[in-house]
Amino acid sequence: MSASKAKRAQVAERRTKAIAMVLAGVDYDTIAERLGYASRGAAHTDVDRALSANLTNLKDKAQQLREVQAMRYQRLLAAVWPKALKGDLKAVETAARLVDRVVKLWGLAEPDKLDLDVTGSITAEDLLAIVRATPEGDEDPGAVAVGADA
């Protein structure tokens, strides 16, 4: 049988207080003592459950918002697509921007890649020197030897 509304409200209030105490830097022993948990482990478990439930809820809501936005983009794209296919340059540009937004929304773009052929060890300073020395737009900067072996 599920907990009553009053019991669920009590649990939610205690979890809210426990999370606030954790954020304030209070240790779990003190949280357990002040809020009536059986042990520090019980307080920790309850806070973890509350945070996990909240994160899951946020992820679900974010996914729903992405789906709604994707449907909006699809409607807009459907409206400009026939004109774009007939060669209307403004419609082509609009369609391309919409497609780019859909790609970004769903994370479909392949990340930029940096291919380095490094011999020996490399430091952050060495890496920065390579990046600064590579001309913009140079698609194949070639292998760069860095470090003690260079």
Same domain, 97 and 130: no
Same domain, 9 and 78: yes
pLDDT in tens, 111-147: 666 665 656 677 778 777 777 876 655 444 444 444 4
Total structural domains in the chain? 2
pLDDT less than 50: residues of the chain: 138-150
Same domain, 87 and 136: no
Q: Which domain does 40 fall in, by range? A: 5-106
Angle between helix 40-85 and helix 28-35 axes, rounded to 10 deg: 100
pTM here is 0.49
Same domain, 76 and 131: no
